[in-house]
Amino acid sequence: MQNKLMKMGKGKIVIGVLGTDVHVVGYQLLAAAVERAGYAVTRLGAANAQEDFVKAAQETAAHAILVSSISGQASLDARGFRDRLVEAGVDCLLYIGGNLTVGSQVDWSETEARFNGFGFDRVFPSTTTLEEAVAALDRDMAALEMAD
């Protein structure tokens, strides 16, 4: 992973909403919580293509990308995301969370496995609290620092 995190605070994070999804409430709350936790946050807003995240991660030398989606269409929108990052030479954590699939009968473990298969490091259900998300980010960033 890029340079030591301690020299630059807790790290640089890109946060945005993927695909045609235009919700912003959860995204804004998450961005604010991550900023309060001491991270430098680049906010992309709603309705972003994968390329928008990749470009922002390149420009900011991001340590993590946090993707939000509540439309239920994330399986379509997120496919190939990690591949795009690798092609662009971006080495960072990749998270996704929200209402990722259509229908309430979908088994969460299947959803999580699908997104892990897409290359996401963490997959959060819509019931995840802001505190849980930030705690996971803190743990993963600390692990990166230890690996440097």
Whether pTM exceeds 0.85: yes
**Residue of 7, 119, 8 lying closest to 54 (CA atoms):** 119
Quick one: fold of 10-127? Rossmann fold (3.40.50)
The residues near 51 (Cβ < 8 Å, ≥ 6 apart) are 84
Q: What is the pLDDT of residue 9?
A: 66
Q: What is the pLDDT of residues 71-128, one digit of tens each?
A: 888 989 999 999 999 999 999 999 999 999 886 567 889 999 999 999 999 999 999 9
Q: Which are the catalytic amino acids? A: 21, 23
Q: What is the pLDDT of residues 20-66, one digit of tens each?
A: 888 889 899 999 999 999 999 999 999 999 999 999 999 999 999 99
- Report the alpha-carbon distance of residue 117 to residue 139 in Å, rounded: 21
Annotated domain spans of the chain: 10-127
Q: What is the pLDDT of residue 144?
A: 84
Q: What is the pLDDT of residue 33?
A: 97
